Chain A
Amino acid sequence: MMNLLTVSGSPHIHGNQNVKKIMWQVVLALMPAMLVSFWYFGLSAILLTVISVTGAVVVEYLIAKFLLKTTPTVGDGSAVITGLLLAFNVPSSLPWWEMLIGVTFAIGVAKMAYGGLGKNPFNPAIAGRIFMLVSFPVDMTTWPKPGLPFNTLNFSVDGLTGPTSLGILKERVGENISSISAQLPDYMTMFIGEKGGSLGEVSAAAIILGGLFLLFRRIISWHIPISFLLSAFVFAGILYLVDDTQYINPMFHLLAGGLMLGAFFMATDMVTSPMSKTGQIVFGVGCGLLTILIRVWGAYPEGVSFAILIMNAFTPLINKMFKPKSFGR
């Protein structure tokens, strides 16, 4: 009996959270946005999501097993999250093989080449998206219009494409905002979701729902999403107040493009965001400012991915500068 006793260091009890649970809860939180994308973009959305998720899992498995020669841990759910998020970031008309290349890059280069879960400096889904944006610029910026429902059963969607709201804004920069506004969807539509754009971005409401779930389950804290959204809103608001013929209502920025998805699901990626709460706020504010900066003055209509990627690069520095307050010092 006596030598059957386990001897290990304290503590001898453990909280009820583990990596697997956390990751699968994030997957669950992504479900509303996924279902909305299926509803609006039909079969092509399903196809791309399946390819991206399976691709992510398979690539991670193969690399872990044959290149790194470690026990694959794809069951932890983190590859599924990357697959889902990457699919959320592409137009529904994207050719399937481009999706596959993108997800291979995301998992293979941005995640596994650094050593896998926890070791990657950049959010794999964002790295993957930017890689695709650079590699397939045209396909990545051709946006089929969503329609109700399953209107894109055929995969050639030429007649149905149109610019995203942010695209319209970018194309017609210099014009008076009020003349553009007529072409933009109203805020309610943008909130519920019926606008051009990437799969997972069309419904702010669905993303907020998932985000609230994560907040409620304490998987993420409010610091990054709130500071991200608020700083974007305030910055865009200042521009709007300065000149409302040049700059659009900040509400538009909040609801357009990938801001919600970025704030709740991409910037909050634990691995690539700062550790301390102050650091997280700095990170969120950085993301918000950069997003608006890029959207208003940059070359791309959308700025969320670049903003997060840039802030990912700053994370180690932020971690050095903003440490938790220590006791007795």
Chain B
Amino acid sequence: MLKTFKLGGIHPEENKISKNSPIEEIEAPETAYILMNQNLGAPSVPVVSKGDKVKIGQLIAKGEAFISAFVHSPVSGTVAAVDTHVDATGYKRTAIIINKEGDEWVDGVDLSDKLNSKITASKEEILEIIKDSGIVGLGGATFPAHVKLMVPKDKKAEYLIVNGVECEPYLTSDYRLMLEKADEIVVGVRLLMKALDVPKAIIAIENNKPDAIEHMKNKTVSYPEILIEALKVKYPQGAEKQLIYSLLKREVPSGKLPIEVGCVVQNIGTTFAVYEAVQKNKPLIERIVTVTGKKVKKPSNFKVRIGTPVSTLIEKVGGIPEGSGKVISGGPMMGKSLADLNTPVVKGTSGIVIFDEKESKRNVTYNCIRCARCTDVCPMGLQPYLLSNAVENNAWDIAEKNKVMDCIECGSCHYTCPSNRPLVDNLRIGKAKVGEIIRNRKN
């Protein structure tokens, strides 16, 4: 029996149609739009201004708050503006806009493909470099990596968990990375283990990627402290708390972080970025993005500079197919549908999924028939129908009492609801409102 989590879960169609497309590097955009809200927490603060010349990899924005991240230039050229640009939510946010000129990197970056597996940096140095390189969780949640690695004094990290689950349908960027950059990932894992001072690491992969599991196993034979674990295919297997439960049967208490149960979780892509930062001196200026969809001519996995407009990526796969109705940034379960294809790739962009019109439409909504399917599939053990009702009636106390804040927005409830209730929409409203109430109470 493969390991899995205990409560709820669903199994949507996998649709990993881009899985056999090797990662393809695409050239830097002529104009890069670099958003300042690429990480969870406080937005980064620009340190360049209009007219400045920048090189690739140069620091252009600082994370000043505790939970924030640095941002580096993905292209060389001139800062055209520090202005606003549309992000995935459809709102305009602060952005640094750079016109590309030439291809000039900052000094000291090792651009060769040669594997550098010798770890010389100390624990402190590794942490410092990760922070300075602007690495955030690349799975989509974009929590700054260095913050996760700062274990509070009274806690102890026992396990590093590397999330290679990629349970979202369609997405294959982590999968391709595991197949093509396994050696680098292993070094990244060792770096993170050193930074955390943990004796064990587990790389978790869903069982629908047998070749990735096999490959990672082969690459780690000489590292007994790194374990590869195949997990049952069940969404949301890659959600942090579910993943920890699946692997270790430990439950992260409500409202707490994984370190509470001795774990730190980092995504596969993040691990690779850590390798590049520490061993190659290369800050986070690019990432792997899956661009796919059932009607897409050439479903692909690209290595893309941050700041590249989504429209450019879509051109690369043969343009928007006839009759498309929706473009999703991220996976279909948790991604955001884009209103504007000028939205740039950010650190958290794991994929772009294009749906045709039929797939884009939401089904008709019926009354809740109290069938309890939503509670059956909720991996957090919540009662989505009840929370959603509470939100519709502005009953914030009921929403809070029934743990609306525990919702991880995985979408399983809405996915399974036969009445097609807009449960997650409501839960998000509930979380925002109740979160605000809780904060006000504290102040």
Q: Interface residues, chain A, CB within 8 Å of chain B?
A: 1-15, 17-19, 21-22, 73, 76, 115-119, 270-272, 275-276, 323-329
Whether B253 pairs with A6 at a CB distance below 8 angstroms is no
Chain A positions within 8 Å of B338 at CB level:
5, 7
> Would you call A19 and B369 a contact (CB within 8 A)?
yes
Q: Is the CB of A6 within 8 A of B325?
A: yes
3 smallest A-B Cβ distances: which pairs? A11-B411, A326-B381, A118-B367
Shortest distance from the beta carbon of B203 to any chain A beta carbon, whole Å: 23
Query: Given A11-B333, A13-B12, are A5 and B380 neighbors across the interface (CB < 8 Å)?
Result: no
B409 shortest CB reach to chain A, Å: 7
Nearest to B335 among chain A residues (CB) is A10
Tell whether, in the assembled complex, residue B334 and residue A10 are in contact, meaning their CB atoms are under 8 Å apart.
Answer: yes
> Which B residues are CB-close (under 8 A) to A21?
418
Please classify the interface of chain B as helix (H, G, I), strand (E, B), loop, or mixed, using the class held by over half of its residues.
loop
- Chain B residues 219-246 with CB under 8 Å of chain A are 241, 245
**Known contacts A6-B360, A10-B424; can you find 6 more A-B pairs with CB under 8 A?**
A6-B361, A7-B90, A11-B332, A13-B13, A17-B416, A324-B381
User: Can you spell out 15 A-B residue pairs with CB atoms less than 8 angstroms apart?
Assistant: A6-B361, A10-B414, A12-B355, A14-B414, A17-B418, A18-B363, A324-B7, A324-B375, A324-B376, A326-B380, A327-B241, A327-B245, A327-B251, A328-B254, A329-B253
Q: Which of A270, A323, A326 contacts B254 (CB 8 A)?
A: A326
Q: Does B130 contact A (CB under 8 A)?
A: no
- Residues of chain B within 8 A of A4, CB atoms compared: 325
Q: Are A116 and B415 in contact (CB under 8 A)?
A: no
Give CA–CA (A7, B385) in the complex, Å: 23
B349 within 8 A of A: no
Partner of B367, one of A1, A3, A116, A325: A116
B337 at the interface (CB under 8 A from A): yes
Residues on B with C-beta less than 8 A from A13 are 12-13, 169, 332-333, 359, 415
Whether A275 lies near B383 (C-beta < 8 A) is yes
Chain B residues whose C-beta falls within 8 Å of the C-beta of A3 in the assembled complex: 339
8 A Cβ contacts from B403-443 to A: 403, 406, 409, 411-412, 414-416, 418-420, 422, 424-425, 428
Q: Give, as a whole number of angstroms, the nearest-CB distance from A225 to chain B.
A: 15
Residue B320, interface by CB 8 Å:
yes
Q: Does A118 contact B370, Cβ atoms closer than 8 Å?
A: yes
Cβ of B363 and Cβ of A22 under 8 Å apart? no
The winner among A116, A119, A271, A324 for most chain B CB atoms within 10 A is A324
Taking CB atoms, residues of chain A closer than 8 Å to B381 are 324-327, 329
Knowing A1-B320, A8-B337, A14-B415 are in contact, say whether A327-B369 is a contact too (CB < 8 A): no
Given A4-B325, A11-B411, A326 contacting B372 (CB threshold 8 A): no
B336 within 8 A of A: yes
Chain B proximity of A248: nearest CB distance (Å): 36
Q: Is the CB of A276 within 8 A of B372?
A: yes
Within 8 A of A (CB), among B363-379: 363, 366-373, 375-376, 378-379
Also in contact, A8 and B362, with CB within 8 A (given A275-B383, A328-B253): yes
Q: Which residue of B lies closest to A219 (CB)?
A: B371
B420's partner among A2, A18, A324 (CB-CB below 8 A) is A18
How far apart are the CA atoms of A12 and B414 in the complex, in Å? 9
B378 contacts across to A, CB distance below 8 A: 324
How far, in Å, is A17 (CB) from chain B's closest CB? 5
Interface membership of B153, Cβ < 8 A:
no
- Asked if B114 lies at the interface with its beta carbon under 8 angstroms from chain A, I say no
CA of A4 to CA of B327 in the docked complex: distance in angstroms? 11
